[in-house]
Amino acid sequence: MSPRFPKGWSLVGWTAALVGAMAAAILAAYGPTREGTHALLRATARSSLLLFLGAFVASSLRAAWPSRFADWLVENRRHLGVSFAVSHTFHFAAIIGLTRVSNEATPVVVVLLGGIGFVFIVAMAATSFDTTAAWLGARRWHLLHGVGVHYLWAVFTLTALGSVHRDPVAALSVALLLSAMALRLMRRKTLQARAAV
């Protein structure tokens, strides 16, 4: 039996409601200011990271340490991915908001890497439905989602590394991201060893 967490598309609905409420609370506390927008960026980046990691490690975690929670992650991996896209849509809106309330110049490399990441997020979310996945085809679906999740992992990791010296949460994020990748690599090695037998 899986934990009594939201399941399926209700998980996506709960994510939209909770992240939306969080965003509203932050803006109510700070107002549409530079400080408020930065607070919203940090909060949505963290909610997105947690959802991303849930989908990223689901099958690897269940293989390493079977549990009800790991079963729930695997059963809801698609919906965790879409929930991540929902959370990052709020993050994207906060980025747009920052350009309206601040004269801060965003480095070109950040715009480029982040822009590619958002393209992957949209494409992966759009192909998380049975109809669109079937239209794309299994081979191209696996290619898109495989490249996409690893690209996003790299962006999350590089972003967190850039803030480690001033933000303890960033240091924790790096530790979680590296642990998640190690877990995936361990599972891949195990699968390859079994295939070679």
Which pLDDT band, with edges at 50, 70 and 90, does 28 fall under?
very high
158-192 confidence digits (pLDDT tens)? 999 988 888 899 999 999 999 999 999 998 887 77
| Residue 104 C-alpha from the chain's centroid | 25
Boundaries of every domain in the chain:
8-196
Structure tokens at 113: 């890497």
d(C-alpha 73, C-alpha 55), whole Å? 7
> Is the CA virtual torsion 100, 166, 44, 115 positive or negative?
positive
112-163 confidence digits (pLDDT tens)? 888 999 999 999 999 999 999 999 999 999 999 999 999 999 999 999 998 8
Q: CA separation (Å) from 50 to 9, 37, 53, 90?
A: 18, 20, 5, 15
Q: Can you give the pLDDT at residue 196?
A: 65
Q: Can you give the pLDDT at residue 60?
A: 94
